[in-house]
Amino acid sequence: MKRIVDEILSNPQFSEGSAWRRLWIKAGTKIIEKGDIGNSLFLIEKGIVRVLGEAEIDGEIRITPGLSDLDAGAIFGDICLYGEHRRTATVVAVTDVSILEVNSDMLSVFLDDHPVQGYLFLKGMFEIMAKRLELANERIDKLLAWGIKAHDIDKYL
């Protein structure tokens, strides 16, 4: 995935400043917030970010557990690849980070105009999303098993 992204970013038709920009973000800074409308995706150049979930316990206590840490080469915010969508998680810089913010509308036009690169990019995104879905399903299975055991439901199965 890194190779195709580097190829896209270095193309003169996909210029820095209009199609993408480099951001330097200090540790502890919120990069995106769950629920906000977004139209860009991000590529981590250097550093580590944490993807935070959100849970409410007994309708009173809100917690934001870390779902995963991402480092150099990882992409996040990709739910906004095609059009404006609500962000599905909050992302915070764990260390000082350098990230590239890519305008999704301009990326979409570029990928349409460059079908080979578009195919390779979307194939890479599909692989990333498939791995994320597999991990999410694993976590759901483990959480479900824990809940069944914790609430003594297994004796009724």
Q: In the chain, where are the structural domains located?
A: 2-156
Query: According to the model, what pLDDT value does residue 11 have?
Result: 93
Beta bridge partners of 100: 22, 43
Please enumerate in sequence order all residues whose Cβ is within 8 A of that of 154, keeping only pairs 6 or more positions apart, or say none. 148
User: What is this structure's pTM?
Assistant: 0.82
Please list the pLDDT of the chain residue by residue as tens digits (157 residues): 888 989 999 999 999 999 999 999 999 999 999 999 999 999 999 999 999 987 777 777 676 767 889 999 999 998 888 878 999 899 999 999 999 999 999 999 999 999 999 999 999 999 988 998 898 889 888 888 888 888 888 777 6
Return the CATH number of the domain spanning residue range 2-156.
Answer: 2.60.120.10
Measured CA to CA, the distance from residue 150 to residue 20 in angstroms comes to 48
Please enumerate in sequence order all residues whose Cβ is within 8 A of that of 130, keeping only pairs 6 or more positions apart, or say none. none
Query: According to the model, what pLDDT value does residue 149 have?
Result: 83
The two three-digit tokens of residue 116, written as one number:
């080979």
The end-to-end CA distance of the chain, in Å, is 44
Spell out where 47-126 has E strands. 49-52, 55-57, 61-63, 66-70, 75-76, 85-86, 90-93, 97-103
